[in-house]
Amino acid sequence: MEQRLHIIVKGLVQGVGFRYFTQSNAVKHQLKGWVRNLTNGDVEIDVQGASSNLEHFINAIKAGPPYGRIDAIHINDDSLPLKGYTTFNITY
């Protein structure tokens, strides 16, 4: 079953390759959507795909890249409508 998640990641997540880490894991798990830095230092992710793939993706995100630090992850999965994403992009 396809599902869409909106995720906010807090911690040391900017300037450590977190967006590239996120994109790499999304592609690895055949997910679509985007990731971007927020002005407050957080990272925002909008991602969709198979529920089982999303679970693996979230576990990878919780681990984070080698030089990052994840303090909190807020996941909104309240039946968000699917978007027409065809790739996973880093947006600015």
Q: What percent of the chain has pLDDT over 90?
A: 95
Domain ranges of the chain: 2-90
- The DSSP bridge partners found for residue 48 are 4, 32
User: Does 2-90 carry CATH code 3.30.2010.10?
Assistant: no
Catalytic residue, candidates 4, 19, 25, 53: 19
pTM, rounded to two decimals: 0.96
- 78 falls in which pLDDT band (50, 70, 90)? confident
Q: What are the DSSP calls for 42-56, one per residue?
A: -EEEEEEEEHHHHHH
Other Cβ atoms within 10 Å of 6 Cβ, number:
16
Residue 75 tokens, joined: 């996941």
Comparison of pLDDT for 90 and 79, the residue scoring more? 90
Tokens coding 73: 């992850």
Q: Is residue 36 among the annotated active site residues?
A: no
80 DSSP assignment: P
> pLDDT tens digit string along 25-54?
999 999 999 999 999 999 999 999 999 999
- Residue 46: per-residue pLDDT: 98
